[in-house]
Each structure stands twice: as structure tokens, then as C-alpha cells.
Amino acid sequence: MQARALARIGRFGGIGAAAAVGMALLLLLQGGRAPGDDVKGPPAVERDSRGAAPAPAEATAPVHEFHVYSVDGELEFADGNATYVVGFANYDDAFGKAPEPIDKARLSKRLTVPGPELRVKKGERVRVVLHNAGLCHAPDGSGFLGTPHTIHFHGLDLLAPIDGVPDLPAPGVPEGQEYTYEFVPDFEGTYLYHCHVDSASHILLGMYGVVVVEGDEPKTIYGRHYDREYTLVLSEMDTHHNEVLRTKGRMDMLTWKSDYFLINGRIFSANLKNPLSSINDPKTRIVCKVGETVLLRVSAIANNHTFVLHPHAYHFEVIGTDGRALPAPYFKDTLPVTSGERYDLLVKIGEKHKGACQSCNIGKGVSIMHDHNMGGMTSAGKYPQGALTIFEVQ
């Protein structure tokens, strides 16, 4: 069963109508549509991705709406360097619609890598409106100006008109335009969203974020209880690529080589008080108490690096992956996470072990968790400046 994609969805604000699956297939056979063409399809029909009309109650159910803006900005690292990025921002923490004229500078300042987390509930009607706010930091004449964007909801198994693949059938969203994606997620779990225009470049520039689909009961996932949760996105960047995109708009991707390895968009710094360090980010420093169970929602975005997540004091219980519960959870202390994968991990924070073993459940104190694929422990060629964070057990 797929997440139900409500067909009145894919539409450009004010300029087009919804397209249906038959239209998409027809366009495929015809070789797609010309960029910039309006999306015109049959009149909007409420259907789900299995071809069935949704129950009337669903069509009138309240909608959880998010306004998400694509924009560019600057990402500053704890080593003092910074890079050009393109990504997603919300106008305010409630994902409200920005007033006109859009304050691009505000959006650029609010840009985060990864983008703002989209947190929804299983079975609710979700509407995500992507606004292409344009660019603030590309120079006049840049080949990147006017670039369209989309959102692909990775793992939600949606219909083509809201799958975010450009020209299948909807073209990418041009600057100043918007496009509405609407769906009902059927499975709780951890998912990703990212742009799918010129995917290699746009994603690696920072155009990604997490979708969390919550289950029926608070503080549970797949029927398992947890006390606290952290979302950890592992990613890599080539800051040279980012700069080339800013000015030229494209680059020979065979020359792409990561120089930064990130956890939630940050690197670790040996200066433990550095405010930009991963361990001084409340979303990344894992603070918990003895006796608690911590849920880690881990995902990765990468070009060719496999992250291998290793906590020093614990074994994860892997209870789900890619938005599905595992029928037989298993334990890992060294977990490979490749690009696009998501893992839902439970960590039981135990008392200090009283026996001979000193390698597990250390009780109160600090322990590190890092990428065990060693390149990922560096940034700008220096160690230890990569994807590393800590557990702080209180």
C-alpha cells in the first residue's frame, strides 16, 4: 500500500490545473513536455494512488499545510570557513505563507541544511507548498539564475504529479512560482525530501531535509516507547562545487570531491566551546538521562561516501528502516548508512555497568558517536572535524 496521493494536488499556483496519471504516461510516451509549459490535465478528480477515490471524510479532512521556500544562502562551519548553499527555509516556525513581496533576505537567513523538518501524522492530509523564492547570492549573469526546483518526498511512494521529478509531468517550479504537493502518509517512520531538478548538484548543494511521520501514540514508534528523539542527517559537501554552481550553474560531476562531512549541517570542532560545533547544537548533542530510551532517526545524503555510524558506549537496536518496522530488530554498534537510507534506532541508556565489562552503558557521562568511515571524521582535510557528536548522559 502506498501513501495515498490526492490527485488535486500537483498544481501551479494560479496558472495550471492538476495532471493525472494517464496524462503522465502519455507525456512519457511523447518524450515529456517542453520546459516552462503549463501543466494542463483533465479536471481535478479525487483519486488515490491505487486508483480509488478516497472516502468522503478524507476529502474534507483538515489539512496540515506547510509553506516551504527554496532559496540560497551561506553555511558557516565551526572551522571558520563558509560555503554557498541552496536549500529550503520556512518563513516562520509554523511554516506559514510569507507575505508579499517576499522577503528573500529573511528566507536566506532562515535557510538551514538540512532544511526544516516536516513533521506529520500518519493518516492526516498533508499539503506542502513549494515556493521558488529565487537566489540572493548568485552574481548577475550567473548560469544558476532562474533555476527551477521541485520537492521529491523520498520513500513516500507518491504519484508522478506530486513525485517531484521534473517534467514527469510537471516541470520544475520556476522562480517566483509555487507548486502544491498533497498526500496522506500511510506508514509512520522517517523519510526524506529533496529537490529532484539536476539532482546530483541540487541535492549536494543542500536541498534536502527530513519528513517524520508520527504514529498513533505519542512517544512511540512502531509500537515501541521512547523518551526522547533526535534526528541526525549525515551528509557530505564539496565547497568548490557549491561555488562553481553559484557562478556557472553546473559542473563536471566527475570532479566532485567532498571536503566537508556533516552531521545536521555541522562539523565537530576540537574547541569544545565553539558555538558552531556539532556538539553545541541542541538538535545534534544527544542529552539524556540514565534509564531513558532514546530514538535516533538517522539518514544520509551523499555523493559516494558511506557513513558508518559508531557510538562508543552503546549498541543501537535497529527497529526500522526506510519507513518500515523491522519484523526482527537487531543490534549494531557500527551501522553503514548510505545515501537515501533511513534508520530508526533505539538506544537504552543504562546504569553504569557493575561487572567487568566497561564498554557498554557507561551511566552518567559523555561518550562520542562518529563516522567510522575515516574520511568522514575530517573536513577541509583536518581531523577531527567531521561527522561526530556526543551522548551526554545526565
| Mode of pairing for the β-strands spanning 82-89 and 63-76 | antiparallel
Take residue 129 and report the three cell numbers written for it. 507548498
Span interacting with Cu ion, options 146-154, 263-271, 352-360, 373-381, rule CB under 5 A: 146-154
Per DSSP (E only), the strands in 195-333 are: 208-214, 220-221, 224-225, 228-237, 260-263, 286-288, 293-301, 307-311, 316-321, 324-332
* CB 256 within 8 Å of CB 303: yes
- What is the spatial distance between Cα 338 and Cα 336, in angstroms, rounded to a whole number? 6
Is residue 305 within the footprint of Cu ion (CB under 5 A)? Answer: no
Span interacting with Cu ion, options 61-69, 195-203, 353-361, 382-390, rule CB under 5 A: 195-203
**Nearest 5 degrees, angle CA 203-CA 375-CA 197?**
10
Q: Candidates 195, 279, 298, 300: give the one binding Cu ion (CB under 5 A).
A: 195
**Residue 202: CB minimum distance to Cu ion, A:** 3
Take residue 77 and report the three cell numbers written for it. 562551519
What x-and-dash track marks residues 64-103 binding Cu ion by CB under 5 A? ----------------------------------------
**Residue 173: CB minimum distance to Cu ion, A:** 9
Is residue 345 within the footprint of Cu ion (CB under 5 A)? Answer: no
- What is the spatial distance between Cα 145 and Cα 131, in angstroms, rounded to a whole number? 15
Nearer to Cu ion among residue 130 and residue 345 (C-beta): 130
One-letter amino acid of 139: P
Is residue 149 within the footprint of Cu ion (CB under 5 A)? Answer: yes
Nearer to Cu ion among residue 202 and residue 297 (C-beta): 202
Nearer to Cu ion among residue 41 and residue 166 (C-beta): 166
Q: What is the CA radius of gyration of the chain?
A: 21
Nearer to Cu ion among residue 227 and residue 243 (C-beta): 243
Span interacting with Cu ion, options 21-29, 96-104, 198-206, 255-263, rule CB under 5 A: 198-206
Span interacting with Cu ion, options 113-121, 141-149, 230-238, 332-340, rule CB under 5 A: 141-149
Q: Candidates 107, 158, 168, 197: give the one binding Cu ion (CB under 5 A).
A: 197
Span interacting with Cu ion, options 192-200, 220-228, 298-306, 345-353, rule CB under 5 A: 192-200
* CB 118 within 8 Å of CB 193: yes
**Residue 8: CB minimum distance to Cu ion, A:** 24
Positions in 199-228 near Cu ion (CB under 5 A): 202
- What is the spatial distance between Cα 367 and Cα 393, in angstroms, rounded to a whole number? 8
Residue in the structure block whose three cell numbers are 495515498 = 4
Phi, psi of 204 (to 5 degrees): -70, -15
Is residue 154 within the footprint of Cu ion (CB under 5 A)? Answer: no
Residues that bind Cu ion (CB under 5 A): 149, 195, 197, 202
